[in-house]
Amino acid sequence: MAHSVLVLLLLAVSVLEGNLSEPWAALVGFDNPRFLNHAQTVALPLVAIVSADDSSKRWRQLAWATLVLGGMLLFITYGRATLLALLLGLLAGLWAFGRRGLPYARRTVPPTIVGMLLMWVCYLLWFRPAGYVIDPDQFAHVHYRDYLIGQAVKLWQTSPWLGVGPMHFSHWYNGEAAHPHDLYFQLLAEYGAPATILILLGAGRWFAASLRALRTLPEQHTNVGVGLWGALIGIAVDAAFSGNFVMPVSQLWIAMAIAMVLAMRADKRTNAAPASGIATSSTWSRARGGLPWLVVAAMLWMTVQSYREVLHSSQPTLGTSGAVHAAHGETTNPNPRFWIIGWF
């Protein structure tokens, strides 16, 4: 809420000074409006939980105001993927919880729509006269996502079983982006098909178990279940159109949402009857205990090899054809997200 108020104040000052060339420049703390939208995908459903809570009128009003302000920023930033994620998350919540989810929807949808309408009025009355014009074509533009996905598929085809390795999408200079803007194709390119299938199957199993736990929450916590389930679905939807899993701020929000779901599941397990003990062999226990140490040793070995390579190279690259060797002045668009030496 405080961040939204600050952004709107900066926009108001820009209008008064007649210097509103680009509202996105007012997004303090985010040099790309999509980074804010990634956070909104998770934050707004969690705020909506508070807006539907009748235990505190003051907190409910603050949450309602936050949703209004969030809707205003969604409108001015063209948050298409976030809007789609929020919509599908809400529909998933209503599907999972049925009529019990209607109070959540009634308390949360109106303030968000009100916020978007308010920003539309602000645009018509002040922003457009001040020189900022919304381009309707931007709402249908794919912004190179088809190209980036195509690049990810080409990378995957070079190593379909094991992938090219984590973060290697950015090893070759790409003036458009350092990641495919699609988590699922990024997993495919960097980890390979078998690992991607295993990851998605594991995630699907975790989603199903989480939904079962959330649907059995006490009646007074139904809004929490709807909001958390909507946030999880929104995260998964947003991941198909953006880099929410590779940006630090949204990573933090995603981790927090997952932690809240885990806390709900842990609370239910604590209240459940204890499970019967299952005997395991000492050999298996020792092997299972040693596996993490084996992984750590492998990571340390890889780190040492990479460090030795850096020490013996004036301009370290992985040596593969097409790797980035350009110095700072040799590229037409030396995007700051790329290191000059070629590594992300």
Q: What is the pLDDT along the chain (344 residues), one digit of tens a residue?
A: 889 999 889 888 888 887 776 777 788 888 888 999 999 999 999 999 999 888 888 999 999 999 999 999 999 988 899 999 999 999 999 999 999 999 999 989 999 999 999 999 998 998 888 878 887 776 777 777 888 899 899 989 999 998 888 766 766 666 677 788 999 999 999 999 999 999 999 999 999 999 999 999 998 899 999 999 999 999 999 999 998 998 889 999 999 999 999 998 877 666 655 544 445 567 777 888 888 899 899 989 988 887 877 677 655 444 444 444 444 444 444 444 444 444 44
Q: What is the predicted pLDDT for the residue at 35? A: 92
Angle at 91 between CA 85 and CA 97, to 5 degrees: 130
In 3D space, the residue among 219, 214, 325, 207 whose CA is nearest the CA of residue 263 turns out to be 214
Q: What is the predicted pLDDT for the residue at 318? A: 43
Total residue count of the chain as it appears in this document: 344
Kindly report each contact of residues 180-183 with a partner whose C-beta sits within 8 Å and lies 24 or more positions away, as own/partner: 180/148, 180/149, 180/151, 180/152, 181/145, 181/148, 181/149, 181/241, 181/242, 181/243, 182/145, 182/148, 182/149, 182/152, 182/239, 182/240, 182/241, 183/239, 183/240, 183/244, 183/245
Q: What is the predicted pLDDT for the residue at 168? A: 67
Distance, in Å, from the CA atom of 11 to the CA atom of 127, rounded to the nearest integer, reads: 9
Distance, in Å, from the CA atom of 153 to the CA atom of 185, rounded to the nearest integer, reads: 7
Q: What is the predicted pLDDT for the residue at 280? A: 58
Alpha-carbon distance values, 272 to 207, 218, 269, 276 (Å)? 20, 14, 5, 12
Distance, in Å, from the CA atom of 7 to the CA atom of 17, rounded to the nearest integer, reads: 15
Q: What is the predicted pLDDT for the residue at 324? A: 46
Q: What is the predicted pLDDT for the residue at 279? A: 52
Q: What is the predicted pLDDT for the residue at 175? A: 65
Q: What is the predicted pLDDT for the residue at 172? A: 63
| Cβ contact 137:22 at 8 Å | no
Q: What is the predicted pLDDT for the residue at 28? A: 86
In 3D space, the residue among 246, 233, 92, 256 whose CA is nearest the CA of residue 182 turns out to be 246
